[in-house]
Amino acid sequence: MTQKLTDLYVKFIRNNYNYDPETGFITRKGGGIKPLGFLNRGYIRVQLTSRDRFYAHQLAFIIKEGYLPEEIDHKDRNRANNKWDNLRVATDSQNNYNRGIASNNTSGYKGVSWDKRLGLWGARLESNYKIYKSFHKTKEEAHAAYCKMAEKYHGEFANV
């Protein structure tokens, strides 16, 4: 998703497009107030030239800050919400910490699964290439343990 941009291309984008931090919309300068872009896998995608497409959250950073970070996290996990207060620079790991519950989850809680071998509910969290685990009698206890681990190791990116 990362694109290397020349200073000239950043200048072109900043000179020709507007970003409204309150709405998250990208518009053409002098081209009215109609927001640009189309929905693509939940993200707003904007076609700048015949070859160049960007996600609206990338353009938001280019226009507002003058650069494109490696990763941009949507705090509320809504990929189409590009309001400035919903965007933050993140590492790849931090962006993953903010993911929702997996589609194949059967416990109903993020990071919680049944361990057949032990006959207990396990809480599992990964952070900085380390795995943290604990085992509990109930899935609610395992969820509480996961929440504590996420708060400790994922900080503001914890999503429980």
> pTM of the full predicted structure?
0.82
Q: Say whether both 113 and 62 belong to one domain.
A: no
- The enclosing domain of 53 has a CATH number of 3.90.75.20
- The enclosing domain of 120 has a CATH number of 1.20.5
Per-residue pLDDT of the chain in tens (160 residues, 90 and over written 9): 445 688 899 999 999 999 999 999 999 998 778 999 999 999 999 999 888 999 999 999 999 999 999 999 999 999 999 999 999 999 998 988 888 888 899 999 999 999 999 999 999 999 988 999 999 999 999 999 999 999 999 988 888 7
Domain that holds residue 130: 100-157
Q: Say whether both 13 and 38 belong to one domain.
A: yes
Residues making up the chain, counted from first to last: 160
Contact 61, 54 (CB under 8 A): no
Phi-psi map region of 7: left, alpha, beta (phi>0 left; psi -120 to 50 alpha): alpha
Q: Say whether both 71 and 34 belong to one domain.
A: yes
d(CA 24, CA 117): 49
Residue 41: the pLDDT is: 94
Which residue, 55, 90, 125, sits at the end of a domain? 90
- What domain count does the chain have? 2
In angstroms, how far is CA 114 from the centroid of its own chain?
Answer: 28
Phi-psi map region of 69: left, alpha, beta (phi>0 left; psi -120 to 50 alpha): beta
Q: Say whether both 13 and 62 belong to one domain.
A: yes
The answer to whether residue 95 sits within a structural domain is no
Residue 2: the pLDDT is: 47
Nearest CA to 59 out of 9, 120, 113 is that of 9
Q: Say whether both 77 and 126 belong to one domain.
A: no
